[in-house]
Chain A
Amino acid sequence: MFNNSKFTKPTWLSISWLGLMLFLAVFGSLLPFKSWKFVYEDDLGVVPFSPGHILGTDNNGYDLLASLIAGTRMSIFIAVTAVSLGGLIGSALGITAAFVRGKVDTVMSTLFNVGLAVPNLVLALALVSVLATNVDINQSVPTWRRVMVLIVSLTIVLIPILGRIARGATLSWSGRDFVTAARSMGMRDRQIIMKHIVPNVLPALIAVAFLAVGVVIIAEASLSILGVGIPDGASWGGMIARGRNDLEYSPHVLYIPVIFLAITVISTNQIGEVLRSKLDSREAKV
């Protein structure tokens, strides 16, 4: 679909980096490392490139490489799940709204606009607080539960963003004559959506989804820093939050996850932009 021209160097770097992150997320647990929770009692706050600890350890004796791999799994899992769910629900709502028009569309676009009017982080923060009401902050909450809450909140944040893109694209494609032609040859609405609308709307959505992954990774990190995300350094955000305490003596504990996060977000943005510009030039031809 997008194979008609060569990628530039930054794009290749982005693809490679994301490939590496994906690999760590999926196969990280199979790599021959001790659990990230293993405490190296004798190696507290070791600097990077030390023997046995290529990225060093923090002041509690956790190995940073092992932590990072575990954090990658969590951050990528949250981001991909939230974007997939948000994309699925958002595009279902957006496409339906644009295709049905009328009241459904008015209600839906109003909801989207309200969702978009509230800053992402504020909305996510509010959602996490609401969804986690029955969780006693002082009690130790199982991590899976916090992850669920986080994913649900981020999904809700993403629905209006992706939904609006889907709605806009659907509006422009469903106005084309081939949709009318399909109707006049007796196609059902559901078939028209699946065969004529979705395949045309999808590329635009995929491009935006890449950008959304970046947004979600940052949001997840911000929430963790604010203390409502994943505790104990189980994600990049969690590591950053914890690294703040070690800033004075072991700055690398903070910098390393920040660098990982930054490169990842830059990469998703780069790929999203490339896809989008490819799409624009192709659409201009169509």
Chain B
Amino acid sequence: MAGSGTAHMRNTVDSVLTVRDLTVEFRVGNNKTVKAVSGLSLDVVKGETLAIVGESGCGKTTLVRAILQLPPPNSGEVIFDGTDLTLLPKENLRSARTSMQMIFQDPISSLNPRMTVHQLLDEPLEIWDRGTRAERDERINKLLFSVGLEPDLVLNRRSYEFSGGQCQRISIARALALDPRMLICDEPVSALDVSIQAQILNLLLFMKETHGLTMLFISHDLAVVKAISTRVMVMYLGKICEVAPPDVLYSNPAHHYTRALLNSVPIPDPTKQIRTELLQGEPPSPMNPPSGCRFRTRCVGASALCAEQEPQLREVSPGQFVACHHPIV
């Protein structure tokens, strides 16, 4: 079977989201296709925060958009709350999507500049006819309060009058308006200033606890991921390299790519500088991925086997799954 295996799947009744063998292709030019996500499986259990990390272009955004069916994947299953979204008729999909809300990277572009904050937050409530005018207004005020904004000061202003951090708060309020079960965050703090990042991360953690949310969190920043996740998945060129709880992954990475990624993170402590060999070059084109292990062209541990056979995910320590022929021990 193509793909990176399914050993990491827990198949419990608590799974909020289960993705099986998901493939997303883009056509580029004449009869060429890019496999942005390639036979990927994952599951997210209730209350957990699954973080997906990887370099830009590895398919993180494509993956979450395919989960939301925006656009639908080329093949594979996306089972949310027991229903396969890929099989749902358009009308049912509309309502199913509401329990899965998204926070985007660019806080400015995620809010329509022509709408006031009141209109922005009222929109989801209006579409689904949630309550009377007065009830909706009360809900909007509550939502704004909960994300730390003063309703009276912000209701009639538009997105471009706010800072990035404030826009992100508005986005979070809007995402929570329909009481979703799951929050999907695509680089929600990458565009924000260092001191604002912490505010938004803490807000997300707080919202997750108070609303009993399950989260899918995409980021290229390993430090941010460590602070917020309960399970981490490392991706490279549309495939999974490693899945593990954060403390295990960060202290004992088993995949060579994970280790290289961790070694590149600058540590704010002059006494703790690691200067091992760096990852050389940049990821190869996803149009023409290397045979066998996709990481082999940059891997220090590569052998002949790595070019011939694709490694499958397997458990190397409790809860730690790695797709590598020669994992680091």
- B102's partner among A184, A187, A195 (CB-CB below 8 A) is A184
Q: A184 contacts which chain B residues (CB < 8 A)? A: 68, 70, 97-98, 100-102
CB distance from B225 to the nearest CB of A (A): 21
Q: Which residue of B lies closest to A202 (CB)?
A: B114
Inter-chain contact A176/B98, CB cutoff 8 Å: no
Inter-chain contact A191/B102, CB cutoff 8 Å: no
Q: Mark B93-137, 1 if CB is under 8 A from A, else 0.
A: 011011011101110111111100000000110011000000000
Inter-chain contact A286/B104, CB cutoff 8 Å: no
Q: Is A185 an interface residue (CB 8 A)?
A: yes
Give CA–CA (A29, B123) in the complex, Å: 48
Q: Is A245 an interface residue (CB 8 A)?
A: no
Inter-chain contact A181/B94, CB cutoff 8 Å: no
Q: A196 contacts which chain B residues (CB < 8 A)? A: 112
Question: Would A183 and B114 be within 8 Å (CB), given that A177-B104, A177-B109, A286-B160 are in contact?
Answer: no
Count residues on chain A whose CB falls below 8 Å from chain B CBs.
19
- B104's partner among A180, A186, A187, A199 (CB-CB below 8 A) is A180
Beta-carbon contacts under 8 Å, A176-206 to B: 176-178, 180-188, 191, 195-196, 199-200
Q: Which residue of B lies closest to A187 (CB)?
A: B127
Give CA–CA (A285, B158) in the complex, Å: 12
Q: A191 contacts which chain B residues (CB < 8 A)? A: 127
CB distance from B136 to the nearest CB of A (A): 14
Give CA–CA (A182, B178) in the complex, Å: 12
Inter-chain contact B70/A183, CB cutoff 8 Å: yes
Question: Would A186 and B114 be within 8 Å (CB), given that A180-B102, A181-B104 are in contact?
Answer: no
Q: Is B231 an interface residue (CB 8 A)?
A: no
Interface of A, helix, strand, loop or mixed by DSSP: helix
Q: B113 contacts which chain A residues (CB < 8 A)? A: 200, 286
- B112's partner among A183, A185, A186, A200 (CB-CB below 8 A) is A200
Q: Is B181 an interface residue (CB 8 A)?
A: no
CB distance from A173 to the nearest CB of B (A): 9
Q: B105 contacts which chain A residues (CB < 8 A)? A: 177
Give CA–CA (A233, B65) in the complex, Å: 61
Give CA–CA (A93, B215) in the complex, Å: 40
Question: Would A200 and B127 be within 8 Å (CB), given that A184-B70, A186-B97, A285-B160 are in contact?
Answer: no
Beta-carbon contacts under 8 Å, B188-216 to A: none
Count residues on chain B whose CB falls below 8 Å from chain A CBs.
31
CB distance from B267 to the nearest CB of A (A): 32
Q: Which residue of A lies closest to B101 (CB)?
A: A184
Beta-carbon contacts under 8 Å, A182-237 to B: 182-188, 191, 195-196, 199-200
Q: Mark B40-52, 1 if CB is under 8 A from A, else 0.
A: 0000000000000
Q: A182 contacts which chain B residues (CB < 8 A)? A: 123
Beta-carbon contacts under 8 Å, B43-83 to A: 65, 68, 70
CB distance from A20 to the nearest CB of B (A): 33
Give CA–CA (A176, B262) in the complex, Å: 32
Give CA–CA (A196, B102) in the complex, Å: 18
Q: Which residue of B lies closest to A101 (CB)?
A: B71
Give CA–CA (A223, B225) in the complex, Å: 67
Q: Which residue of A lies closest to B96 (CB)?
A: A186
Q: Is B174 an interface residue (CB 8 A)?
A: yes
Inter-chain contact B110/A176, CB cutoff 8 Å: yes
Inter-chain contact A178/B127, CB cutoff 8 Å: no
Q: B98 contacts which chain A residues (CB < 8 A)? A: 184-186
Q: A185 contacts which chain B residues (CB < 8 A)? A: 97-98, 101, 123-124, 127, 174, 177-178
CB distance from B269 to the nearest CB of A (A): 36
Inter-chain contact A186/B110, CB cutoff 8 Å: no
Q: Which residue of B lies closest to A200 (CB)?
A: B114
Q: Which residue of B lies closest to A1 (CB)?
A: B114
Give CA–CA (A104, B224) in the complex, Å: 42
Q: A285 contacts which chain B residues (CB < 8 A)? A: 160
Question: Would A181 and B114 be within 8 Å (CB), given that A187-B127, A285-B160 are in contact?
Answer: no
- A177's partner among B110, B127, B160 (CB-CB below 8 A) is B110
Among A178, A182, A188, A286, the most chain B Cβ lie within 10 Å of the Cβ of: A178
Beta-carbon contacts under 8 Å, A252-286 to B: 285-286
Q: B102 contacts which chain A residues (CB < 8 A)? A: 180-181, 184
Q: Which residue of A lies closest to B159 (CB)?
A: A286
Inter-chain contact A188/B70, CB cutoff 8 Å: no
Give CA–CA (A180, B69) in the complex, Å: 11
Give CA–CA (A188, B93) in the complex, Å: 11
Question: Would A181 and B70 be within 8 Å (CB), given that A186-B95, A187-B127 are in contact?
Answer: no
Q: B106 contacts which chain A residues (CB < 8 A)? A: 177
Give CA–CA (A191, B128) in the complex, Å: 13
Among B102, B105, B114, the most chain A Cβ lie within 10 Å of the Cβ of: B114
CB distance from A208 to the nearest CB of B (A): 19
Beta-carbon contacts under 8 Å, A76-115 to B: none
Inter-chain contact B160/A178, CB cutoff 8 Å: no
Among A185, A191, A196, A200, the most chain B Cβ lie within 10 Å of the Cβ of: A185
Can you give 28 A-B contacts (C-beta < 8 A)?
A: A176-B110, A177-B104, A177-B105, A177-B106, A178-B111, A178-B112, A180-B70, A180-B110, A181-B174, A183-B97, A184-B70, A184-B97, A184-B100, A184-B101, A185-B97, A185-B98, A185-B127, A185-B177, A186-B94, A186-B95, A186-B97, A186-B127, A186-B178, A187-B123, A195-B123, A200-B112, A286-B113, A286-B159
Q: A177-B105, A180-B102, A185-B174 are in contact. List 11 more A-B contacts (CB 8 A).
A: A176-B109, A176-B112, A177-B104, A177-B110, A181-B102, A184-B70, A184-B101, A184-B102, A185-B177, A186-B97, A187-B123
Closest 9 CB pairs of A and B: A177-B110, A177-B104, A286-B113, A185-B124, A186-B94, A176-B109, A178-B112, A177-B109, A186-B98
